[in-house]
Amino acid sequence: MRIIDPVNSIRISDISQISENRIEALFEFPNDEQQRIYIEASKPVQSNADTWLLLALPIGMKFGLPIGIDGEIDSLLLSNLDKLQRECKRGNRSFKRVNVLANGTKTNSQIAGKQTASFFSGGLDSFFTATTEPTVQSLICIWGFDIPLQNIASWNQLNEVAMNFARRREHELVTIKTNLKTLSHGRLLWGRHYHGWALSSVAQALRPNFDSVLIPGTCSTFNAKWGTNEKLNALCSTSWVELREHGAESRVRKMVSINQMDSLTELRVCLKAGFKSLNCGECKKCRRTRLELDGSQSSTRPSGLEEIIDTRIFARERISKFEYTFLKEDQREIARIGTPGFSSLATHLRQGRTRDIICQVLNFMPEKMAHLLLSAKQGFRQKN
């Protein structure tokens, strides 16, 4: 029998069904304060160990800490734990494989026949999945991920957007409130490591309602180094809820498809917007979306994103390696479609990327020079 050292492990206990709509669990980490995590929903949620294990596993792997959980793990998830950890390590070489000790296993014996849901953040990926995937009947919108729990005004705004969209598409809207993101604070990067696991965890909590939950894809090409991808998502499935990534396509192509079927009126990509418009129009995410709207020749312009972009703006600013990947993908797709007026886009993007590289070198220079000067000074002192 495997025994886990309680001092050097992650412990999950007090797994509780507080009410039909709220579940909680207590997380204990070595040399750290314990955290009580909750998930609250507008539909029934079910207390189960799988929901909490999915949140602990990437943290355990990052720090090489085994996980002890006071509950029974789903047999499918348990049989996939090795593959899941291998897949996670593929994108994160320094992560370690860890042991999981639970009270036993469980299998769902109920006949399937529940609904299919998809996550909805108001962004393009979730718009695309909700619009183009005919099996989707419900949308899951979460408060506590992109929008902090303290930001009530932004949540009310997103909630209204999601309600309008769901009503128009005749989908049911399920809202979630959770503090689970705090588990990643100071431990893992949300986008790079954690958000796919977080979405999978919420899907498992919603098992009384859904047997299939879609995670809208964010990258058009498979990326093992991103916190959500096709393989990771699928391996977070249980015998209760199957998880599947949907719509791994370029953003410009997604806009073209949505434009043919519906409108982008409620699109909300900006995290900085105030209360009057859904998007600020000027942050990097908004500019990129304006470029995509122009490039896809979209007939609707979401609030705050009405203005046509001048692509010279990309040449005047720093473009990080990460941003460049996405912008380059947009540029390639716009060129493929043949939208007129974008012949200089590739050059402007390259100029912005070069600007960023030069700035990084200049920032690095003083530190490097100081180090060289210090070494030379120490060498001089030793000689004398």
Single out the segment in contact with Zn ion by CB under 5 A; choices: 122-130, 278-286, 347-355, 356-364: 278-286
Instruction: State the minimum distance, in angstroms, from the CB of residue 271 to Zn ion.
Output: 7
Closest by CA position to 292, among listed 337, 354, 248, 322 = 337
Identify the residue among 174, 180, 203, 286 touching Zn ion (CB under 5 A).
286
Instruction: State the minimum distance, in angstroms, from the CB of residue 284 to Zn ion.
Output: 8
Identify the residue among 248, 280, 337, 346 touching Zn ion (CB under 5 A).
280
For 112-127, the three-class secondary structure string (H helix, E strand, C coil) is: CCCEEEEECCCCHHHH
How many residues line the site for Zn ion (CB under 5 A)?
5
Closest by CA position to 290, among listed 269, 272, 320 = 269
* Residue 151 neighbours by CB under 8 Å, 6+ apart: none
Give the count of beta carbons closer than 10 Å to the beta carbon of residue 268.
27
Structure tokens at 87: 């897949």
Angular region, 370: left φ>0, alpha ψ -120 to 50, beta rest: alpha
Nearer to Zn ion, 286 or 319 (CB): 286
Instruction: State the minimum distance, in angstroms, from the CB of residue 267 to Zn ion.
Output: 12
Instruction: State the minimum distance, in angstroms, from the CB of residue 282 to Zn ion.
Output: 6
Nearer to Zn ion, 272 or 336 (CB): 272
Instruction: State the minimum distance, in angstroms, from the CB of residue 301 to Zn ion.
Output: 14
Amino acid at 226: W
Distance between CA atoms of residues 200 and 198, nearest Å: 5
Structure tokens at 21: 């709509």
Distance between CA atoms of residues 163 and 166, nearest Å: 5
Instruction: State the minimum distance, in angstroms, from the CB of residue 138 to Zn ion.
Output: 28
Identify the residue among 283, 335, 337, 346 touching Zn ion (CB under 5 A).
283
Single out the segment in contact with Zn ion by CB under 5 A; choices: 46-54, 90-98, 280-288, 325-333: 280-288
Nearer to Zn ion, 214 or 305 (CB): 305
Is 124 near Zn ion (CB under 5 A)? no
Instruction: State the minimum distance, in angstroms, from the CB of residue 276 to Zn ion.
Output: 13
Instruction: State the minimum distance, in angstroms, from the CB of residue 286 to Zn ion.
Output: 3
Residue number closest to Zn ion, CB atom: 270
Single out the segment in contact with Zn ion by CB under 5 A; choices: 246-254, 284-292, 330-338, 343-351: 284-292
Single out the segment in contact with Zn ion by CB under 5 A; choices: 64-72, 134-142, 196-204, 282-290: 282-290
Structure tokens at 116: 């299919």
Nearer to Zn ion, 236 or 270 (CB): 270
Crossing angle of the two packed helices 152-169 and 124-132, in degrees rounded to 10: 20
CB of 89 closer than 8 Å to CB of 97: yes
Instruction: State the minimum distance, in angstroms, from the CB of residue 121 to Zn ion.
Output: 14
Nearer to Zn ion, 74 or 330 (CB): 330
Distance between CA atoms of residues 23 and 27, nearest Å: 13
Q: What angle do CA 154, 159, 163 make, to 5 degrees?
A: 155
Exposed/middle/buried for 324, CB within 10 Å: 0-12, 13-18, 19+? middle
How far, rounded to the nearest angstrom, does the alpha carbon of residue 90 sit from its chain's CA centroid? 18
Tell me which residue has tokens 């579940």: 23
Q: Segment 248-277, which members bind Zn ion (CB under 5 A)?
A: 270, 272
Interface pattern 326-345 for Zn ion (x via CB under 5 A): --------------------
Nearer to Zn ion, 40 or 292 (CB): 292
Nearer to Zn ion, 289 or 298 (CB): 289
User: For binding to Zn ion (CB under 5 A), which residues are involved?
Assistant: 270, 272, 280, 283, 286
